[in-house]
């Protein structure tokens, strides 16, 4: 049986990938606060709080779904080459290679 290839997990997500989502979320928050202030001015505080809560509860799952799918789309599995496998050191080798940690 062939040995399974080793893979390296790489995340290529940058701030620019989620920038639009953050701006959209800020706009939703500001609009819900503007609606709440408008309803507060109309002497209807229970409707104001209900409006903010409803907007946040309804929009939060969509925001989380957008963040998670964006993150998952930027995770890559890269196979390691044979030369990279042989040059990799194990954590045990790293701890013994530093004389300050393990003086012998």
For the chain, the domains span 15-74
Give me the mean pLDDT over the 98-104 stretch: 49
pLDDT-based confidence at residue 85 (cuts at 50, 70, 90): low
pLDDT tens digits along 11-63: 888 888 888 888 988 898 888 888 888 888 877 788 888 888 888 888 888 88
What distance in Å separates the CA atoms of residue 10 and residue 75, rounded to the nearest whole number? 6
Phi, psi for residue 88 in degrees, rounded to 5? -75, 140
Predicted pLDDT of residue 82: 65
Q: Is pLDDT above 70 for 103?
A: no
Q: Is pLDDT above 80 for 76?
A: yes
Those residues with Cβ within 8 angstroms of residue 75's Cβ, 6 or more apart along the chain or in another chain: 9, 10, 11, 12
Predicted pLDDT of residue 52: 83
Predicted pLDDT of residue 96: 46
Predicted pLDDT of residue 3: 62
Predicted pLDDT of residue 55: 84
């Amino acid at each position: 049986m062939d040995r399974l290839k080793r893979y390296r997990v790489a995340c290529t997500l940058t701030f620019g990938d989620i920038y639009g989502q953050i701006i959209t979320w800020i706009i939703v928050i500001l609009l819900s606060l503007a609606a709440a202030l408008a309803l507060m001015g109309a002497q209807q505080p229970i409707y104001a709080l209900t409006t903010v809560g409803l907007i946040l509860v309804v929009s939060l799952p969509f925001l989380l779904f957008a963040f998670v799918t964006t993150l998952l789309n930027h995770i890559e599995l890269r196979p390691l080459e044979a030369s990279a496998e042989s040059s990799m050191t194990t954590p045990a080798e790293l701890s013994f290679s530093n004389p300050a940690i393990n003086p012998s």
